[in-house]
Structure 1
Amino acid sequence: MPTNVYFNHAVQSEQNLHEDLVVESLRFYGHECFYLPRTIVDEDELFGEDTASKYGDAYQVEMYIENTEGFDGEGDLLSKFGVEVRDQATFVLSRRTWDRFVSLDSNLAVTTRPNEGDLIYFPLGNQVFEIRFVEHENPFYQLGKLNVFKLQCETFEYSHEEIDVGIAELDNIEDQFSYQVSMTLGAGSGDFVVGETVTQTVATGKTVSGNVVDYSSQGATSKTLKVNNITFSDTDVPTGSTMFVLSAQAGAGNIVGATSNATRVITTAPDQYTMPNDPLADNKDFETAGSNIIDFSESNPFGNL
Structure 2
Amino acid sequence: MPTNVFFNHAVQTEQQLYEDLVVESLRIYGHETFYLPRQIIEEDTILNEDVQSKFGDAYSVEMYIENAEGFEGEGDLMSKFGVQVRDQATFVISLRSWERFISLDSNLATSFRPNEGDLVYLPLSGSMFEIKFVEHEDPFYQVGKLFVFKLRCELFEYGQEDFDTSIIDIDTIEDEQAYSLSMTMGSGNNKDYVANENLTKSGVIVAEAVSWHQPTSKLLAKDITTTLEVNDVLIGAVSAAQFTITSIDDRMTFSNDAAAQNLEFESKDSDYLDLSETNPFGEP
Query: Scaled by the length of structure 2, what TM-score is found?
Result: 0.93
1:198 aligns with 2:199: yes
C-alpha contact (below 8 Å) 2:198/2:205 kept by paired residues: no
Where do 1:198-237 residues align within 5 Å? 198-201=199-202, 209-218=206-215, 223-232=217-226
Render the CA deviation track for 1:233-256: whole Å, top value 9, x for unaligned: xxxxxxxxxx21011xxxxx4112
Contact 2:119 2:130 in 1 (8 A): yes
Amino acid at match of 1:130: E
Q: Report the AA paired with residue 233 of structure 2.
A: N
Which amino acid is 1:264 matched to? F
User: Aligned AA for 1:191?
Assistant: D
Shift of residue 129, structure 1, vs aligned partner: 1.0
Q: Measure how far apart 1:5 and its partner are.
A: 3.5
1:181-240 Cα offsets, whole Å, 9 max, x none, are 111110011321111111235xxx9x671111111123xxx51111111113xxxxxxxx
In the TM superposition, what is the alpha-carbon distance from 1:179 to its structure 2 partner? 0.5
Conserved? CA contact 1:198–1:256, under 8 Å = yes
Take 1:155 and 1:83, find their aligned partners in 2: how far apart are those partners?
14
Q: Give how far 1:264 is off.
A: 1.1
Q: 2:262 aligns with which of 283, 296, 305?
A: 283
User: Residue 137 of structure 1 corresponds to which residue in structure 2?
Assistant: 137
2:229 equivalent to 1:245: yes
Indicate if the aligned counterparts of 2:183 and 2:248 stay in contact, CA closer than 8 A: yes
Find 2:241's aligned residue among 244, 262, 265: 262
Work out whether residues 32 and 60 of structure 2, in 8 Å CA contact, stay in contact via their aligned partners in 1: yes
For the 8 Å contact 1:39–1:53, the answer to whether it is kept is yes
Deviates more, 1:266-275 or 1:19-28: 266-275
* CA distance in structure 1 between the partners assigned to 2:65 and 2:258 by the alignment: 36
Deviations 1:29-53 (A, max 9, x none): 1111111111111111111111111
> Is the contact made by 2:186 and 2:246 (CA closer than 8 Å) also made in structure 1?
yes
Q: In the TM superposition, what whole-angstrom CA distance separates every residue of 1:141-187 from its partner, at most 9, and x where no partner exists?
A: 00100000011111111111111212211111100011011111100
Q: 1:70 to 1:279 in 2, by over 3 A?
A: closer
The gaps in structure 2 that reach 5 residues or longer are none
Aligned to 2:107: 107
CA distance in 1, matches of 2:131, 2:72: 14
Corresponding residue SS for 1:230: coil
Runs of 4+ in 1 over 6 A off after TM superposition: none
Give 3-state SS (helix, strand or coil) of 1:245's partner: coil
Q: 1:15 to 1:183 in 2, by over 3 A?
A: same
Residues 208 and 258 from structure 1, CA distance in 2 versus in 1: closer, same or farther, beyond 3 angstroms? closer
Q: CA deviation at 1:270?
A: 3.8
Identity of aligned residues (%): 57
Residues 208 and 244 in structure 1, CA contact (< 8 A), matched pair in contact too: no
In structure 2, C-alpha distance between the alignment counterparts of 1:104 and 1:281, rounded to whole Å = 41
1:1-305 equivalences in 2 (<5 Å):
1-189=1-189, 190-201=191-202, 209-218=206-215, 223-232=217-226, 243-247=227-231, 253-298=232-277, 301=280
Alignment root-mean-square deviation, CA: 1.8
Quickly say closer, same or farther: Cα 1:300–1:292, change in 2 above 3 A: closer
1:298 CA displacement = 2.1
Q: How many equivalent pairs are there?
A: 280
TM-score in terms of structure 1 length: 0.87
